Amino acid sequence: MDDKMIRTRIAPSPTGLMHIGTARTALFNELFARKTGGKFIVRIEDTDRERSKKEYEQIILDGLRWLGLTWDEGPDIGGDFGPYRQSERGAMYRGALEKLLAQDSAYPVEDGEAIRLRVPPEDVVFNDLIRGEVTVNPETWGGDFVIARSLDDPVFHLAVVVDDAAQAISHVIRGEDHLTNTARHILLQRALGLPMPQYAHLPLLLDKSRRKLSKRTGEVNLLAYRDRGFLPEAMLNYLALLGWNPKSDEEFFSHDQLREKFELAGVQKGGAIFDETKLGAFNKHYLRQLTREELLEKARPWLKKAGYIIDDERYWRDALAVEQARAATLEELASGVSFFSPDWPGDYSPSLLVWRDSNEKETKEIIGQLKDFLDELGDNVWTEQTLKDTLMSWVEEKGLKRGNTLWPLRVALTGRENSPGPFETAAVLGKARTLERLDGAFKKITRGV
């Protein structure tokens, strides 16, 4: 690597939603630029006039910002090499096309409806920073290829080459599905007398069946994960490990740590499997790191969407903390605390109250005893540990079976087979709500006996 300023770029097309693969490519470009003290540029490749839309461009930029990626030049920021939308750089492309036509490196075809580059009948050989020497035979794509539909309508191949040179891009880091495109672009660079950047082709993202990740086999829209309550820190950390080896047993890295550790030498050649279950495990890790205050603020939109009224913030902070270690996303967390809602309907089956070796009659008696015992407890003992100590002593003293006692209490408070423990739940609900729910359970099972 020479002393020239490192300049990387991400150049997405605003023709659809933000793809997970595009996000990973953007991340690797940003990490490499930051590690080397270089610049990271965002450029919008909107040569596809029919499919390119401003709303897709905004979605792409929103996705990059959500991940916490920052760029030094690009849309809405500008820079010395702008503008940063291809639709605004037409004069440069026309000049390149006129040069190619004038020197007979390109020629018009199809009644002037397209312009093709003349391709010499020889292999294109280049060094890839990840894959080593790469050889591409032009017959792979059929030789001469279209570089413009007209002088004022360039296609991707011409525009990207002109832009990379004009914006002094030193390194093009993109997916391995661009290997053939890179050979085309090198031929264009030679014909135009432009410098060739260094290339690095990242492994493709695959699904669990080792097929190319696509919307047919899973969710590939980055912001869909945001909208389901995945944290950007978790997504960024997970994406960084898809095809890159940090050369340690560590899994969890902050953005700043990734910027310090990232090296192209650590990028693997083989495809990387995107596993949403693994992403969920990363998200659980980051959810557990949040304070109660942070958790409430991040979960608030999902709580409101679920219809909960957040009037007692302390209560909801405590409620969320009970489910914090169990949920994989903020969406799951909001669903998981539904039984903490003051107007929880308690719509569970009476049969759920009965422990496996008990019966409805015995369960009814135990619920009645629980009500009477807890009603006598003072508010000063209404904490998780004190409730546990007091109630377990009472169970032992009365000679009751633990499962037959604690199970109906858990169900009465949550209505669920799988839920947090009864002591931590009761501590958050408070004495009045706990007794109210036990009363509801008693009535349910009485009607069933």
Q: What is the CATH number of the domain that holds 381?
A: 1.10.10.350
What phi and psi, each to the nearest 5 degrees, are found at residue 132?
Answer: 80, -150
User: Does residue 99 sit in the same domain as residue 248?
Assistant: no
Contact 339, 419 (CB under 8 A): yes
CATH number, residue 260: 1.10.1160.10
CA distance 301 to 296: 9
User: Does residue 310 sit in the same domain as residue 379?
Assistant: no
pLDDT digits (tens, 9 = 90+) for 281-294: 999 999 999 999 99
**Encoded amino acid at 181, one letter:** N
Which ranges of the chain have pLDDT less than 70?
1-3, 448-449
For the chain, the domain total comes to 4
User: Does residue 378 sit in the same domain as residue 241?
Assistant: no
Among residues 54, 215, 269, 443, the one annotated as catalytic is: 215
User: Does residue 123 sit in the same domain as residue 271?
Assistant: no
Q: Is 247 a catalytic residue?
A: no
Strand order across the beta sheet in which 132-136 lies: 132-136, 124-128, 198-202, 171-175
In a domain, 368, yes or no: yes
What pLDDT does 1 receive? 38
pLDDT digits (tens, 9 = 90+) for 358-382: 999 999 999 999 999 999 998 778 9
User: Does residue 377 sit in the same domain as residue 237?
Assistant: no
In a domain, 217, yes or no: no
User: Does residue 275 sit in the same domain as residue 305?
Assistant: no
Residue 318 belongs to what domain range?
A: 291-338
Q: How many CB atoms lie within 10 A of CB 356?
A: 7
What pLDDT does 79 receive? 83
What pLDDT does 82 receive? 76
Q: What are the percentages of helix, strand and coil residues in the chain, rounded to 5?
A: 50, 15, 35
CA distance 17 to 189: 31
What pLDDT does 449 receive? 53
What phi and psi, each to the nearest 5 degrees, are found at residue 440?
Answer: -65, -40
